[in-house]
Amino acid sequence: MNISRYRPDVDGLRAIAVLGVVLFHAGLTWIGGGYVGVDVFFVISGYLITGNIFKSLQSNSFSFLNFYGKRLRRIQPALYATLFVSFLIGSIFYVPVDLKSFGQSLVAATLFSSNIYFFFKSGYFDPLAITKPLLHTWSLGVEEQFYIFFPLFMVVSFKYLKEKLLTVCVIFCVASFIFSIWQVAHQPVAAFYLPFSRAWEFAIGSIAALAYDNIFKTQVQRKIISLLSVLLLFVPIFTFTEQTSFPGVNALFPCLGAGLLIYLHRTSRGFAFDFLASRPVVFVGKISYSVYLVHWPLVVFLQYVLLRKLDGIEVLLYLLVVIVVGWLSWRYVEEPFRHKGSIIFSNKVFYPALVVVSTVFVMIGVASHVYSGFPSRLSPQARIYADAALDTNPMREQCDSPSVARIARDEVCRVGSPQALPNFVFIGDSFGDALVPGIDAAANRLSKPTAGYALTHSGCFPLPDVEQLSNPSCKGVMDANIAFIKRHPEIRRIVMVARWTSAALGNRFGQFEQGGWVIKDKYSTGQSVKDNKVVMQRALENLISQFPDRQFAFIAYIPEQQFDIPRSLYLSSIFNLNQYRGVKAEIHMKRQKIVHSIFDEIKTKYSNVQVLDVGAAVCSIYCPVNLNSTVLYADDNHLSAKGAVSFSPLWISILGTTAYN
């Protein structure tokens, strides 16, 4: 086994990995699985680190200090340059809430824990990924945590199980892989971000480093394995999507492909080696780390300012800039710090400087959090717009998304008059949570004050007996809601709101569209958004049929805006641009057409159903984003708390009926 020699094909694999990630994040739909490039990086890291440690252990020259010193020189300088420039840009363009979040992630990236931070911040209402320029550092967190654990693992295994080191790595790989499969099924967010379900990917690289040479003896065998490896690597890049369950079983294909190519090219050559070792591919591989660091902040800041995804020639220009900036970072930051030839980069200077810079970054991040993104840097008008991003339901933390156990114990929030007996229930998803302040205000403004229960669960369409594939827990939540209504005969009216368009169409409209939101029930024969309309209507009719003696009021057709309203108004203010007037009414109506057909049919079947058309009440040529100087939205779809209260007359119209007299 000769691990010490330079492997140009490994740099070539790095190029494939980084290009997959960059093209995916650039929005190219034909690279739907480009994110698997991160997993290829993990395999490569496992191979290189294992080989280097094993060689040092064999020669009795391994040093933890030297190992971690090389890792710090390899990773930190280019990372810190990226963090510094990103903070400067964010402090200019970001609204305070986004700069505050950036400060938190800055601390996490500095302390090797980005993956843990983004795991805990991965809730439904966190800012969109496009506001998180350091989101990609989650993979560095996983890698750095691997570097902390793995050397000790290797030293102990080499000392006590030297002859069985390969077997130990195989066992470790299999155990981590099985855990990954389980965690993807039960805790998918944890499986994505945390290191325990990713360790097997590094272990595949370790196995490629430690395995015996020449397992594939004949040229035919090597050609077959080479072709299979290429297919395992590239097919996921072009066929996987954001909806693909990952990592788990699906991550095995690109990781195994990369591992086999690394192993195969230790002793043989072929068409795959010739391509990976070609000069253009190797060049991209050499600068891949810097390219990876700069690509995501760049696309985040561009799309943040443009208020849309990159399009057409913009994508090509973006890719060119990424390569150029990545090369500059590699040439003038990454490479110089990897060598000790200059006194400036000597250990005596490097390590104290690293401590100082790390401390400064932590202090900046903490200050960004403590001072809420430094709102004092904004003009008064810009601050009004920016503050709308924070104008959400003040009762969200204690009221939204109660557990099934809490609902079963009747530990749910109330809205309306504290003195009145509740006689309605308000059920919804995140649209419902956004409306809670308005429903509360409307219930208090009735001539006869009333009260109700709030049962909102962000991310869950309020559809009984429906499985929401993107969030399997939703079915149990709606079952608990129905049981709650049955336990409370005093509830005479059931008020419901949701992002009905997404339930019916299976996608999200707005600044950054998303798709593939499939819902199904026991009658579904497949898993396609084409069936969503039928499933939604069937679920609503089923719910109405269960409560023939109750009144139903559906809040529908809330206009979904094309841009994030607080951020677009803020950017218009600081750049003196024309303000976004709101989505055109004709676009709104076209989007809502399928939902209209569902509720129109339901109204003809059931006499106890009322449907409130919010769009018809507020839209003329445009569906407004401002009303009497009040910013109506907290993002591109959800009403702000002030917006929900501004629409109180609409909510009164569905609460203040003869049903309560």
pLDDT one-digit tens code per residue, 563-611 = 999 999 999 999 888 888 999 999 999 999 999 999 999 999 999 999 9
Tell me what pLDDT residue 343 has. Answer: 63
d(CA 513, CA 517): 12
At residue 127, does pLDDT exceed 60? no
Model confidence, pTM: 0.88
Tell me what pLDDT residue 527 has. Answer: 84
d(CA 185, CA 249): 11
The pLDDT tens digits for 134-153 are 999 999 999 999 999 999 99
Distance of CA 591 to the CA centre of its chain: 25
At residue 532, does pLDDT exceed 80? yes
d(CA 321, CA 310): 13
Nearest to 53 by CA among 64, 38, 44: 64
Task: Identify the residue whose tokens are 């839209």.
Answer: 619
d(CA 411, CA 288): 52
Strand partners, 551: 493
Mean of the pLDDT values across residues 334-341?
A: 79
The helix/strand/coil state of 71 is helix
Give burial (CB, 10 Å; 0-12/13-18/19+) of 515: middle
Strand partners, 633: 639
With contact defined as beta carbons under 8 Å apart, do 457 and 400 qualify?
Answer: yes
Tell me what pLDDT residue 123 has. Answer: 54
The pLDDT tens digits for 318-332 are 999 999 999 999 999
Nearest to 252 by CA among 141, 147, 190, 174: 174
d(CA 587, CA 590): 5
The 3-state secondary structure of 23-59, one letter per residue:
HHHCCCHHHCCHHHHHHHHHHHHHHHHHHHHHHHHHC
d(CA 399, CA 413): 6
Among residues of the chain, what percentage have pLDDT more than 90? Answer: 79
Nearest to 243 by CA among 14, 534, 470, 520: 470
Tell me what pLDDT residue 101 has. Answer: 94
At residue 625, does pLDDT exceed 60? yes
- Positive or negative: CA dihedral 47, 52, 56, 62: negative
49: tokens are: 């680190």
Buried b (16+ CB within 10 A) or exposed e, 223-238: bebbeebbebbbebbe
Mean of the pLDDT values across residues 211-216?
A: 82
Q: How many CB atoms within 10 Å of residue 147?
A: 20
| Pure H helices in 164-270 | 165-186, 188-193, 199-210, 219-239, 248-264
Tell me what pLDDT residue 660 has. Answer: 34
Tell me what pLDDT residue 472 has. Answer: 80
Tell me what pLDDT residue 374 has. Answer: 95
Tell me what pLDDT residue 270 has. Answer: 82
Nearest to 457 by CA among 441, 444, 468, 446: 468
Among residues of the chain, what percentage have pLDDT more than 70? Answer: 97
With contact defined as beta carbons under 8 Å apart, do 234 and 17 qualify?
Answer: no
d(CA 472, CA 211): 41
Give burial (CB, 10 Å; 0-12/13-18/19+) of 304: buried
211: tokens are: 């395995």
- Kindly state the helix (H) or strand (E) to which residue 444 belongs, with its residue range: helix 430-445
Buried b (16+ CB within 10 A) or exposed e, 306-327: ebebbeeebbeebbeebbebbb
Residues 6+ apart with CB under 8 A from 129: 135
At residue 512, does pLDDT exceed 80? no
180: tokens are: 């990954």
Task: Identify the residue whose tokens are 């140009």.
Answer: 8
Distance between start and end Cα atoms, the chain = 86
Distance of CA 38 to the CA centre of its chain: 15
285: tokens are: 């591989």
What backbone torsions phi and psi does residue 542 show, to the nearest 5 degrees? -60, -45
d(CA 323, CA 18): 11
What band does 528 get if pLDDT is binned at 50, 70 and 90? confident
Buried b (16+ CB within 10 A) or exposed e, 72-98: bbebbbbbbbbbebbbebbbebbbbbb
Residue 268 φ/ψ region, left for φ over 0, alpha for ψ in the -120 to 50 degree band, beta for the rest? beta
At residue 340, does pLDDT exceed 80? no
Strand partners, 520: 467
Give burial (CB, 10 Å; 0-12/13-18/19+) of 271: exposed
What is the chain's mean pLDDT, rounded?
Answer: 92
The pLDDT tens digits for 43-101 are 999 999 999 999 999 999 999 999 999 999 999 999 999 999 999 999 999 999 999 99
Residues 6+ apart with CB under 8 A from 342: 336
Tell me what pLDDT residue 579 has. Answer: 85
What backbone torsions phi and psi does residue 124 show, to the nearest 5 degrees? -60, -35
Tell me what pLDDT residue 124 has. Answer: 45
The pLDDT tens digits for 418-466 are 989 999 999 999 999 999 999 999 999 888 889 999 999 999 999 999 9
d(CA 539, CA 523): 11
d(CA 139, CA 124): 21
The helix/strand/coil state of 496 is strand
Nearest to 539 by CA among 507, 500, 590, 568: 500
Give burial (CB, 10 Å; 0-12/13-18/19+) of 619: buried
Mean of the pLDDT values across residues 156-174?
A: 92
Mean of the pLDDT values across residues 530-556?
A: 95
Give the least confident one: 180-184, 200-204, 491-495, 655-659. Answer: 655-659
CA distances (Å), origin 76, targets 334, 352, 405: 9, 13, 46
Nearest to 25 by CA among 130, 126, 123, 131: 130
What backbone torsions phi and psi does residue 457 show, to the nearest 5 degrees? -145, 100
Q: What angle, rounded to 10 degrees, do the helices at 347-370 and 64-93 form?
A: 40
Give burial (CB, 10 Å; 0-12/13-18/19+) of 59: exposed
At residue 471, does pLDDT exceed 90? no
Tell me what pLDDT residue 243 has. Answer: 80
